[in-house]
Amino acid sequence: MSQFRYSVTDDLSEPLLEMTAILSRFAPSDGAHRTPIAPLQLIRNGAMVETFQSEQKPALYVVIQGQQEVRLRDERYRFGSLECLLVTQAQSLVFRSEEASQSRPLLLIRLDIEPAIISQLIFDADLKHLLKKKPSSGLHVEPLDLPLLEAMLRLLRLLDTPQDIAMLAPLAYKEILYRLLRGQHGHQLRDVVMVNSQNHRVAQAVEWLNQHFRQPLRIEELAQRINLCTSSLHHRFKEMTGMSPLQYQKRLRLEEAHRLMLQERVEASVACYRVGYESPSQFSREYSRFFGASPRNHIVALRRASL
């Protein structure tokens, strides 16, 4: 288990209060909120919930208020206020908000990291000397320092002046990525741009499954699509996601069916076919094994709990 404890100093408390106010305005309800700044999402959770997230590209998560736990297979990472989680590999994660309530919700920033901009910054700032270190899980928890926090705050402030976003958001965004590159895990971001690696090919497989999980999965065709043999695909895919491609597809289908039934109030029999199942009985069995209750009973219990 990886865990940091970070005290809020006077230098950091004022920016933190301003960031909390901005998130409270632009993420007024539970869930993930997209913003006019394309890579930026604001997340609010007013209850202790667990969600499955399939990461297709590198991302930075910053907790502004509350406590977040992230699970990758058997590893657990916790990070709290003014700590961040850097995700540098495509993989499947389980997020659990801790100690969250409507009076004090979890407030979280998610920032997509574009490999093309990382590559440009490495060249422009002459950071090619970043040393390659031993392979890691692709998850890194660390405290925020003041320069990175101030860059994040400048990006958030632009939400209040949308006329400035087109000109100034790219500058703040590049500064954030530059400071990450100069940080203790900069070498991990450098490795992200090595597009011919097996990790990149498996990331392509993950992205294809995310977009086509409703379709029948043929492993040989998927391996051919990303130019890997089937054994390498299975090995690297499980190493990165903790699941086989078939298990990953099943999880995507069940998570989407759960969303359709809970948020769009779609009947289980309809959700079953919409996510790619051909057999309602198979869907019900697999849903029950995954969520611990039949589709109908699970959704009814969740709706009652939210009242």
Tell me, what CATH number does 232's domain have?
1.10.10
Residues 29 and 142 in one domain: yes
Residues 280, 98: Cα–Cα separation, whole Å: 35
Q: Which domain holds residue 81?
A: 2-192
pLDDT of residue 53: 74
Arithmetic mean of pLDDT, 38-58: 83
Percent with pLDDT over 90 in the chain: 47
**Is residue 59 scored above 80 in pLDDT?**
yes
Residues 16 and 76 in one domain: yes
pLDDT of residue 4: 40
pLDDT digits (tens, 9 = 90+) for 107-156: 999 999 988 888 788 877 776 655 555 545 678 888 888 899 999 999 99
pLDDT of residue 128: 60
* Angle of CA points 195, 199, 201, to nearest 5°: 65
Residues 110 and 26 in one domain: yes
Residues 232 and 259 in one domain: no
- Least Cα distance to 206 among 186, 228, 184, 188 occurs for 228
CATH of the domain at 101: 2.60.120.810
In angstroms and rounded to an integer, the radius of gyration of the C-alpha atoms of the chain is: 20
pLDDT digits (tens, 9 = 90+) for 68-105: 888 877 778 888 888 888 888 766 788 888 778 888 89
pLDDT of residue 162: 96
What 203-209 contacts at long range (C-beta under 8 Å, 24+ apart), as own/partner pairs, is 203/56, 203/57, 203/89, 203/90, 203/240, 205/233, 205/237, 205/245, 206/54, 206/56, 206/90, 206/91, 206/237, 206/240, 206/241, 206/248, 207/56, 207/90, 209/245, 209/248, 209/249, 209/252
CATH of the domain at 291: 1.10.10.60
To which residue do tokens 């925020």 refer?
144
Arithmetic mean of pLDDT, 211-220: 94
Is the entire prediction scored with pTM above 0.75? Answer: no
- Please give the sequence-ordered ranges of beta strands (E in DSSP) within the chain, or none if there are none: 2-3, 31-34, 40-45, 50-55, 59-65, 67-72, 75-80, 83-87, 91-98, 106-112, 139-143
Structure token pair of residue 291: 């969520």
Residues 180 and 159 in one domain: yes
pLDDT digits (tens, 9 = 90+) for 186-206: 777 777 665 446 667 887 888
Residues 46 and 105 in one domain: yes
pLDDT of residue 90: 66
Residues 51 and 146 in one domain: yes
Residues 279 and 156 in one domain: no
Residues 165 and 109 in one domain: yes
Residues 264 and 286 in one domain: yes
How many beta carbons lie within 10 A of that of residue 127, not counting itself?
Answer: 17
Burial of 137 (0-12, 13-18, 19+ CB in 10 A): middle
- Least Cα distance to 248 among 279, 205, 282 occurs for 205
**Is residue 277 scored above 70 in pLDDT?**
yes
pLDDT of residue 196: 46
Arithmetic mean of pLDDT, 260-289: 94
Higher-scoring residue by pLDDT: 307, 125: 125
- Least Cα distance to 66 among 41, 96, 25 occurs for 96
The total number of structural domains that make up the chain: 3
Assign 169 to helix, strand or coil: helix
Least confident range from 20-34, 43-57, 184-198, 261-275: namely 184-198
> Which of 192, 211, 233 marks a domain boundary?
192
Higher-scoring residue by pLDDT: 54, 277: 277
Residues 91 and 133 in one domain: yes
Residues 74 and 132 in one domain: yes
Arithmetic mean of pLDDT, 286-300: 93
Q: Are 22 and 159 in contact (CB under 8 A)?
A: yes
